[in-house]
Amino acid sequence: MSASTSTSASRETYAPRRVGEIMLSRVAASLYWISRYLERAENTARLLDVNLQLLLDFHAIDDETLKEHWIPILRSADEEEGFGKLYDTANSRNVTEYMTFCAENPNSVFSCISAARENARQVRDQISMEMWEVLNMAYLFFKDGEARRLWNDGDGAGPLYERVKSFSHYFLGLTDATFSRNEGYEFLQFGMYLERADKTSRILDIKYHMLLPKITDVGGAVDTVQWQALLRSASALEAYRRFYMAEILPKKVAEFLIFSENFPRSLRFCMQGLDDYLHRLTNTGPDEYPTPPERAFGKLLSDLNFLSIEDIFRSGFHEYLVKVQEVLSDLDSHIFRVFMFYPPVDVAAEIRIHQQEQQQQQQTRSSTTRI
């Protein structure tokens, strides 16, 4: 793909690639955000579905209990304030509607799918026809009202969220089968791993402390159904059971979702994927981290390789997960500055430069004519 000279000029002091290998910044940004938005839509759909099903295990729930159940979901998406502007009560219908359909909510399932499709439309010539068709079908599923009809149906919202997850899985499979292994693929994978790591850390932070409000309660007796729900929020229940083959314990749940080397949604697995594609994008060695955001990320990955769950609990479970989110946010900003930032054009300055060039050309021609 062709390079953008302005993108190259906005890079850090090191040169990640040869100029001829750098893709257009707008293409890199669109591919990166396609995978992030679609991954976000899938994670939100799974989280809403699991929490709706969890309510079925309770016989009597008052308004306050419902609020305590749903507010953490809004907080995990930083949407508690936005929700409060549109709804008075945090109950099942209001929260699921806001997080599924609300166009004013940039993190709703519909908004994420719409944003993924719009980014795909902008780089339609860079992705396969099959990838575009899946994103378009997901968008039309909401736009044509089929998603709303399923949500209103007597069978509940389960079929709706299953469709959303299926769209995401189709896209991932088609990307793997139809997209060339070039820099575009690297941006798609990098975006997916970053979004996935961020969401796993948020699910752990919000859900774990909702079930264990005090750090002194870690290891106490908590209803197994709730811990199963936490694992299902990350599609990790079966994998956890195959690994531990024992009862579901709070510390083991946290340990699995943070340290598992093989489960594709654990923090460690996602960080290893991020590390791999980071070095591919920047064309640096496996142990090279030239910039502060990369060094912070490298330290975090090293900690995952050497720390234990006891170490994290001693230093502060919530504090550790907040640090993870901060490092990922800084890495996202770094990738944007290096690969996706396109300096705004000063139109007036461009016109002045063009006029000066024309005047110089006219003066040169006049001088030549007199000679």
Please state the separation of Cα 300 from the chain's center in Å: 18
Contacts (Cβ under 8 Å, ≥6 apart) of 24: 1, 2, 3, 4, 7
User: Could you give the CA distance from residue 123 to residue 30 in angstroms, rounded to a whole number?
Assistant: 7
pLDDT for 217: 47
Q: Residue 264 class from Cβ within 10 Å (0-12 exposed, 13-18 middle, 19+ buried)?
A: middle
- Tokens 């088609």 belong to 174
Residues of the chain with pLDDT under 50: 1-22, 213-222, 345
What pLDDT digit, counting tens, does each position of 123-154 carry? 999 999 999 999 999 999 999 999 999 888 76
pLDDT for 112: 97
pTM listed for this prediction: 0.84
User: Could you give the CA distance from residue 167 to residue 171 in angstroms, rounded to a whole number?
Assistant: 6
pLDDT for 250: 84
Mean pLDDT of the chain: 84
Residue 171: both structure tokens together: 């896209």
User: Could you give the CA distance from residue 210 to residue 345 in angstroms, rounded to a whole number?
Assistant: 48
pLDDT for 14: 46
